[in-house]
A and B are shown apart, each in its own frame.
Chain A
Amino acid sequence: EVQLVESGGGLVQPGGSLRLSCAASGFTFSSYSMNWVRQAPGKGLEWVSFISSSSNTIYYADSVKGRFTISRDNAKNSLFLQVNSLRAEDTAVYYCARDTGTTGVDYWGQGTLVTVSS
């Protein structure tokens, strides 16, 4: 069974940083590209970042470019998102999601909540 479990969220002050993690199991993690998608409270889904299976290709949404860094450790079946210079508008549940190419994503984690507030 495919499982994605996020962790690392929490309350952080504006300008602060966090490192989000996603532990994958039930599939060959190293064969799949992965994504981070976020959802602000009561709002819709926003794609945040993409990383290819070998980390050779990385993309970011314009809203996070220069502040967020995606990475992965295939030996540990783990995906990461380093979020820096956080703003109130970054408050959201952050989901990791398995990439299926042009058909989008298939499996999602349960999400981890990041709250940016003073």
Chain B
Amino acid sequence: QSALTQPASVSGSPGQSITISCTGTSSDVGAYNYVSWYQQHPGKVPKLMIYDVSNRPSGVSNRFSGSKSGNTASLTISGLQAEDEADYYCSSYTSSGTYFFGTGTKLTVL
């Protein structure tokens, strides 16, 4: 395995909530609570949105939340705003001491 599996795209209307899934294995997502989520706008560098499954860095809106169940982690964005339109990537530390990123999800705000 070389990447975690995410849906290629998700969409939602302003004000709605969406959830992006991130599926790995018992050697990465399922092994530790070390899943993080990144937001990347076109032409920009990634921005850390969630770390250690559900922790928000300072300055990140509380509309962003994370969770995990077994080998699948999830990012939920509530109260969708136009500025949330971006690519989102999950990442997980692995039992080999390496990291995997997810395949990426393009969020469209309708």
Does B bind A? no
